[in-house]
C-alpha cells in the first residue's frame, strides 16, 4: 500500500537525484553507490514531524528476504534523521529493491542478532566499519521485514 502524503525530497541533492533516477527506471539505473558497483535500495517512510513522504537510499544488505537498514550516515556524530522516522512509525515503510516497492515492517536489533547483521553489512560495504570507528554512537541497525 503506497505511503500517503506529500513527497518531500531529501535535503541532499545527490540523494534525491539517486532516488528519483532509481524510481524512474524501475531500479535499472542509479542502483549502486556511485561507481562502486555496490547495490543500493530505496526506503520510503513518513516524516515523524512533518508527516511528509520521505525517501532515502541505503546500501543493499539482504539476507533471507530481510534487509538491514544501517543508520551510519558516514559516521556522523548523530543518527541520521530517517532513523527517528522509522522508529516512530515502523509500519509505514516501503523498500524498493528492483522494479517495485513493497511494504515492510521495521524493527531495531541488538545483541547477537545485531552482531550477525553487522557482519553481513560490513561484508557488503566495508566502509561501515570505518564509519563506526569515527563515532562514539553505536550505529543503529534496523531490519526491514517484508509484509
Q: Centre a 10 Å sphere on the Cβ of residue 131 and count the other Cβ atoms it contains.
A: 18
Percent helix, strand, coil in the chain, to 5, is 30, 30, 40
CB-based contact 8:49 (threshold 8 Å): no
User: What's the closest the beta carbon of residue 144 comes to ligand F42, in angstroms?
Assistant: 13
Q: Helix, strand, or coil here: 91?
A: coil
Pairing, β 40-46 against β 101-109 = unpaired
Among 5, 15, 39, 135, binds ligand F42 (CB under 6 A): 15
Residue nearest to ligand F42 (CB): 47
User: What's the closest the beta carbon of residue 50 comes to ligand F42, in angstroms?
Assistant: 3
CB-based contact 83:71 (threshold 8 Å): yes
User: What's the closest the beta carbon of residue 109 comes to ligand F42, in angstroms?
Assistant: 15
29 counts as binding ligand F42 under rule CB under 6 A: no
Residues of this chain, 86-145, that bind ligand F42 according to CB under 6 A: none
> Is 52 or 107 the residue whose CB approaches ligand F42 more closely?
52
> Is 33 or 116 the residue whose CB approaches ligand F42 more closely?
33
User: What's the closest the beta carbon of residue 64 comes to ligand F42, in angstroms?
Assistant: 19
Residues of this chain, 66-95, that bind ligand F42 according to CB under 6 A: 70-73, 80-82, 84-85
The interface region with ligand F42, picked from 47-55, 91-99, 102-110, 111-119 by CB under 6 A, is 47-55
44 counts as binding ligand F42 under rule CB under 6 A: no
What residues have CB less than 8 Å from 86, skipping those under 6 apart? 43, 45, 69, 93, 106, 142
Q: What angle do CA 7, 63, 142 make, to 5 degrees?
A: 50
Amino acid at each position: 500500500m503506497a505511503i500517503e502524503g506529500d513527497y518531500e525530497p531529501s535535503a541532499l541533492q545527490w540523494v534525491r537525484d539517486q532516488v528519483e533516477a532509481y524510481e524512474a527506471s524501475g531500479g535499472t539505473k542509479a542502483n549502486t553507490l556511485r561507481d562502486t558497483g555496490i547495490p543500493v535500495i530505496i526506503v520510503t517512510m513518513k516524516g515523524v514531524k512533518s508527516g511528509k513522504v520521505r525517501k532515502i537510499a541505503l546500501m543493499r544488505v539482504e539476507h533471507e528476504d530481510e534487509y538491514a537498514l544501517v543508520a551510519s550516515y558516514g559516521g556522523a556524530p548523530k543518527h541520521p534523521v530517517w532513523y527517528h522516522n522509522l522508529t516512530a512509525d515502523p509500519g509505514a515503510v516501503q523498500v524498493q529493491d528492483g522494479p517495485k516497492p513493497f511494504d515492510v515492517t521495521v524493527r531495531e536489533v541488538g545483541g547477537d542478532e545485531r552482531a550477525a547483521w553487522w557482519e553481513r553489512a560490513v561484508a557488503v560495504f566495508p566502509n561501515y566499519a570505518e564509519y563506526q570507528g569515527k563515532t562514539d554512537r553505536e550505529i543503529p541497525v534496523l531490519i526491514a521485514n517484508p509484509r
